[in-house]
């Protein structure tokens, strides 16, 4: 990329780690505590909704569940998800810490903006022990704002002049565009984008070292 950036904002799930197996277990644990959900939640289903705004996930997985029941089940899942994110947590994508260290040493300021619930980024930090690399973060659960607004908030709050966003889904691309921030597509994550849609892409995190 020809542009000189001063900061890198990362998506979390599908970009920094894959916690879908742990989250699936959390859904199942919550399911076993109620008597109104008959179907199992599968790993494939969780991966299919990863990256969606937190409340939208439940609307898509349980479209026929009455709103009150869905809210109750979402609260049960929320507690289980935070526990699962802390332990066992997700699988860090290869080269993550090496790449974060490289970027920081090159002077880039690092951030996370995710569509997750409140407390999930902190759970990621606790599990991964990588909090020291990041200057700040924002998520859907804080103010229920769309990702584009959360990207804008981080940019404004920290006075970023030339940020770039790294994400793995079409929603990440759309949020970056809406926020006016260039986008790098992580092809190893959960989403798919054509080359014409997202021409700047990485096949692994270490690719950022050559790119930035």
Domain annotation for the chain: domains and CATH numbers: 7-18+91-211 (3.40.50.1000), 20-86 (1.10.150)
Contact indicator for 22, 179 with CB cutoff of 8 Å: no
pLDDT of residue 56: 83
pLDDT lower than 50: segments of the chain: none
pLDDT of residue 76: 93
The predicted model scores a pTM of 0.93
**86 Cβ contact partners less than 8 Å away, ≥ 6 residues apart:** 123, 126, 127
Query: Per residue in 75-125, pLDDT tens?
Result: 999 999 999 999 999 999 999 999 999 999 999 999 999 999 999 999 999
């Amino acid at each position: 990329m020809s542009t000189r950036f001063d900061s890198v904002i990362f998506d979390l799930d599908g970009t920094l780690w894959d916690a879908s197996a742990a989250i699936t277990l959390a859904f199942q644990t919550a399911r076993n505590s109620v008597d109104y959900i008959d179907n199992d939640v599968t790993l494939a289903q969780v991966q299919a909704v990863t990256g969606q705004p937190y409340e939208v996930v439940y609307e898509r997985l349980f479209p026929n569940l009455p709103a009150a029941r869905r809210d109750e089940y979402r609260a049960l899942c929320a507690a289980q998800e935070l526990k699962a994110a802390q332990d066992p947590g997700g699988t860090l994508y290869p080269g993550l810490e090496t790449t974060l260290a490289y970027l920081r040493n090159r002077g880039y300021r690092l951030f996370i903006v995710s569509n997750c619930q409140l407390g999930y980024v902190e759970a990621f930090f606790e599990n991964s022990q990588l909090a020291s690399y990041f200057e700040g973060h924002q998520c859907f659960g804080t103010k229920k704002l769309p990702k584009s607004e959360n990207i804008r908030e981080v940019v404004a709050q920290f006075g970023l002049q030339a940020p770039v966003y790294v994400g793995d889904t079409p929603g990440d691309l759309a949020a970056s565009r809406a926020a006016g921030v260039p986008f790098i597509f992580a092809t190893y994550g959960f989403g798919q984008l054509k080359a014409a849609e997202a021409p700047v892409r990485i096949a692994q995190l270490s690719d950022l070292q050559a790119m930035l």
